[in-house]
């Protein structure tokens, strides 16, 4: 018997001397067990940060029409939500507030008994170990829906910094673990860091939305948070979608000003930015899998056009593979369930080896 007949090795020939040499990479995809063994990137429940929309009032649980499975919740509804998250292994939430009253200066953003401040206290009383991140921006609190104070019909960068700083301090006073400015004003990280330190919150980290793009993927969020601008848009402060190098500049500035973690937002359309940020900066990197990305998966799944579960998990995996250490995502709860189901299926299909389970 010739060597060519015996060979099923690296050269790929199996009895046919006419076949050119080739490498059999499919060997490592042949079974689920082998695929698990060589998998380079995997998801876990503690990769996820779950956004929550907190409304004023009592007994409020309103499903968001453009985001199936997501709700506006009053503070009294949070304990049940927290118990579910804890049971699923999700240890962090990101809070957005929906105040009943709005004004041109966003005054409700920083009052001690504001909607987010009260929600933080409820969460910390019920589950002190839950990591609470608070979004710091004015858009949900201003009657015009813009991210800062308007002067002459435009967002005044410097006039807005004080509002953001006061808001961040009020969140830290209430017990927030991390504050996350999302406004994209120049200098806001430095202003917030100085204000936090002056108020005695030297240990409160800043998770900066450092590379936040002027994206069409935010539509459902503005429905959920009631934060659509009454006129104009946010292109004067959010980044141009065509710019990637600028994102690295923005991240570097925020880190220089005192940011401890940085966010790239959106995630799926900006995987290249996530990858470049991961390669350039050795700091915790978070990606925001935003409302439009979530809503498209849900809509296509309901129409039967895609397998929503597989698309959602592939999306999240791509974000982590690109370099994100943590992912803010509305899929968090269902993804954690799916991961648990997959793990249970693997465990039930694995043969029990001799001696397993017999130790005293």
| Burial of residue 126 (number of CB atoms within 10 Å: 0-12, 13-18, 19+) | middle
Domain presence at residue 163: yes
**Bridge partner list, 288:** 328
Tokens of 227: 């934060």
Phi and psi (nearest 5°) for 22?
A: -155, 160
Residue 61 lies in a domain: yes
Q: In 3D, which of 331, 271, 278, 351 has the Cα closest to residue 88?
A: 331
Give the whole-angstrom CA distance, residue 239 versus residue 214: 5
As given in the structure block, the two tokens for residue 228 are 């659509």
pLDDT at 227: 62
Active-site option among 102, 124, 212, 333: 212
**Whole-angstrom Cα distance, residue 202 to residue 219?**
35
- Check 265, 298, 320, 333 and give the catalytic one: 265
Is 112 a member of any domain? yes
* CA 181 – CA 254 distance, rounded (Å): 11
Q: Does 179 map to a domain?
A: yes
CA-to-CA separations, 26 to 18, 22, 31, in angstroms, rounded? 21, 11, 10
CA distance 339 to 332: 10
- Note the Cα 358 to chain centre separation in Å: 42
Residue 33 lies in a domain: no
Per-residue pLDDT at 5: 41
212 has catalytic annotation: yes
pLDDT value at residue 355:
46
Report the helix count and the strand count for the chain, using DSSP H and E: 12, 12
Residue 9 to residue 125: CA distance in whole angstroms: 62
Give the predicted TM-score (pTM) of the model: 0.89
Active site residue 124: no
How far apart are alpha carbons 10 and 302 in whole angstroms?
Answer: 46
Cα gap 231→214, rounded to integer Å? 15
In three-state secondary structure terms, 55 is strand
Instruction: Measure the CA–CA gap between 317 and 338, rounded to whole angstroms.
Output: 13
Q: Specify if 11 maps to a domain.
A: no
Q: Which domain holds residue 63?
A: 42-344
The torsion angles phi and psi of 281, rounded to 5 degrees, stand at -120, 130
- Name the residue with tokens 């409304």: 55
DSSP reduced 3-state for 99: coil
Residues of the chain with pLDDT under 70: 1-15, 225-237, 350-360
The CATH number linked to 316 is 3.20.20.70
Task: Tell me, yes or no, whether 8 lies in a domain.
Answer: no
Q: Which residues share a beta bridge with 206?
A: 179
Q: Determine, yes or no, domain membership for 12.
A: no
The total of structural domains in the chain comes to 1
Residue-level pLDDT at 233: 57
H or E element, residue 252: helix 245-257
SS3 198: helix
pLDDT tens digits along 97-135: 999 888 888 888 899 999 999 999 999 999 999 999 999
pLDDT per residue as tens digits for the range 156-180: 899 999 999 999 999 999 999 999 9
């Amino acid at each position: 018997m010739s060597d060519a007949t015996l060979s099923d090795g690296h050269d790929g020939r199996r009895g046919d001397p006419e076949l050119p040499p080739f490498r059999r990479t499919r060997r490592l995809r042949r079974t689920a067990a082998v695929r698990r063994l060589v998998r380079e990137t995997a998801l876990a429940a503690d990769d996820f940060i779950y956004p929550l929309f907190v409304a004023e009032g009592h007994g409020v649980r309103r499903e968001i029409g453009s985001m199936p499975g997501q709700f506006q919740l009053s503070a009294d509804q949070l304990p049940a939500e927290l118990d579910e998250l804890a049971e699923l292994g999700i240890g962090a939430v990101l809070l957005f507030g929906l105040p009943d009253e709005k004004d041109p200066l966003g005054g409700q953003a920083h009052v001690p008994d504001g909607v987010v401040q009260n929600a933080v206290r409820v969460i910390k009383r019920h589950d002190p170990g839950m990591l609470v991140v608070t979004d710091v921006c004015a858009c949900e609190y201003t009657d015009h829906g813009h991210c800062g104070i308007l002067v002459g019909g435009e967002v005044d960068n410097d006039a807005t910094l004080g509002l953001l700083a006061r808001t961040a301090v009020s969140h830290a006073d209430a017990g927030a673990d991390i504050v996350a400015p999302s406004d994209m004003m120049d200098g806001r990280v430095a202003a917030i860091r100085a204000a936090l330190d002056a108020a005695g919150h030297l240990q409160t980290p800043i998770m900066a939305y450092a590379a936040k793009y002027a994206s069409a993927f935010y539509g459902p969020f503005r429905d959920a948070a009631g934060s659509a601008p009454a006129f104009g848009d946010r292109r004067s402060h959010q980044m141009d979608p065509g710019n990637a190098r600028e994102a690295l500049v923005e991240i570097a500035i925020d880190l220089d000003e005192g940011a401890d973690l940085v966010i790239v937002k959106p995630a799926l359309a900006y995987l290249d930015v996530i990858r470049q940020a991961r390669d350039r900066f050795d700091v915790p990197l978070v990606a925001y899998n935003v409302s439009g990305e979530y809503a498209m998966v849900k809509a296509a799944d309901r129409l039967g056009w895609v397998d929503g579960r597989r698309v959602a998990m592939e999306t999240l995996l791509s974000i982590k593979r690109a370099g994100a250490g943590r992912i803010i995502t509305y899929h968090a709860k269902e993804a954690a369930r799916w991961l648990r189901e997959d793990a249970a299926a693997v465990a039930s299909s694995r043969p029990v080896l001799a001696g397993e389970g017999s130790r005293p």
